[in-house]
């Protein structure tokens, strides 16, 4: 009897050992891909802009000097104010950096405050010419803002891929001015011109949108292409030029205030120096 019990026990142990060696029939773990990364505006960017420059004001104020001959003043050459305005195409390039603070949730989306700095330079065309007659004198004014550049801070709020912002800062530009006066006989002509780099300020605002990866407009096939539309108002201050007579030592002084508006669209590429992490691939 003891032999039978021992034999049964050994058989039971052998069956348990064999069962432990069999492969598991439990299903493999289901791979769940990680959620797509949330877009952030943080990073450097570089791009181009194009648009329209309008109401480019060049305000000439003619100041009579004590050396101005009384005969010319009596003939119609008097101090006064002239507004010389031009409109035209503008285009250029830009670069900058944005930093997006921690995202917050809103209505099922994410957003956050975005602060940044941007530098740009743009061609501004064309100039304007104005001709006036006053008594025996004709007056000619020419002014052209050849280019405008800015270095501005930006502050806005991002709603996922959509950004609205305000901007303001330093402005500079190259300006050519001419003021000339001459009588009907071509005598006692006054002519003054000056080309200068002027400085001032600029401010404005705009909206930007990061193109989704799947869009046919995203030619880089990444979330790094952004579009924007913005308005910039610039003021380059007031510059004085001497308008001397060509045949005498007499002269006038002209003060020119330069300002204008830019409305433009931009296409930017967001640069990620840290690189994009490689996708996770499951192996079974």
pLDDT digits (tens, 9 = 90+) for 178-222: 888 777 666 657 788 888 899 999 999 999 998 877 766 666 666
281 vs 227, which has greater pLDDT?
Answer: 227
pLDDT band at 252 (very low <50, low <70, confident <90, very high): confident
Among 28-37, 130-139, 140-149, 200-209, which range has the highest average pLDDT?
200-209
pLDDT band at 243 (very low <50, low <70, confident <90, very high): confident
140 touches 183 (CB < 8 A):
no
- The pLDDT of residue 13 is 45
Q: What is the mean pLDDT of the chain?
A: 76
Inform me whether the pLDDT recorded for 20 exceeds 60: no
Locate the domains of the chain by residue range.
Answer: 37-271
pLDDT band at 134 (very low <50, low <70, confident <90, very high): low
Alpha-carbon span 40 to 12, nearest angstrom = 63
282 vs 158, which has greater pLDDT?
Answer: 158
Beta bridge partners of 178: 142, 193
Query: Domain 37-271 adopts which CATH fold?
Result: Porin (2.40.160)
pLDDT, average across residues 23-51: 75
Q: Nearest to residue 282, comparing CAs of 110, 94, 28, 71?
A: 28
Inform me whether the pLDDT recorded for 81 exceeds 80: no
Among 47-56, 184-193, 266-275, which range has the highest average pLDDT?
47-56
pLDDT band at 72 (very low <50, low <70, confident <90, very high): low
């Amino acid at each position: 009897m003891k032999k039978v019990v021992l034999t049964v026990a050994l058989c039971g142990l052998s069956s348990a050992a064999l069962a432990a060696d069999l492969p598991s029939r439990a299903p493999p773990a289901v791979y769940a891909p990680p959620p797509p990364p949330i877009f952030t505006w943080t990073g450097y960017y570089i791009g181009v802009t194009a648009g329209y420059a309008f109401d480019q004001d060049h305000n000439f104020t003619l100041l009579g000097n004590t050396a101005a001959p009384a005969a010319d003043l009596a003939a119609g050459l008097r101090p006064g104010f002239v507004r010389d305005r031009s409109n035209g195409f503008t285009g250029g390039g830009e670069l900058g950096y944005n930093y997006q603070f921690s995202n917050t949730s809103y209505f099922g989306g994410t957003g956050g405050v975005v602060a940044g700095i941007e530098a740009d330079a743009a061609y501004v065309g064309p100039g304007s010419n104005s001709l006036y007659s006053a008594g025996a004198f004709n007056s000619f004014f020419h002014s052209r803002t050849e280019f405008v550049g800015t270095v501005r801070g930006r502050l806005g709020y991002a709603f996922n891929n959509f950004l609205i912002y305000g901007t303001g800062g330093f402005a500079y530009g190259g300006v050519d001015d001419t003021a000339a006066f001459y009588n009907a006989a071509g005598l006692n002509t006054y002519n003054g011109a000056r080309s200068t780099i002027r400085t001032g300020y600029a401010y404005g605002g705009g909206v930007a949108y990061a193109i989704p990866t799947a869009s046919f407009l995203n030619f880089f096939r990444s979330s790094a292409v952004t579009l924007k539309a913005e308005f910039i108002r610039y003021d380059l201050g007031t510059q004085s030029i001497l308008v001397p007579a060509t045949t005498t030592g007499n002269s006038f002084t002209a003060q020119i205030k330069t300002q204008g508006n830019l409305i433009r669209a931009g296409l930017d590429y967001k640069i990620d120096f840290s690189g994009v992490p490689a996708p996770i691939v499951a192996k079974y």
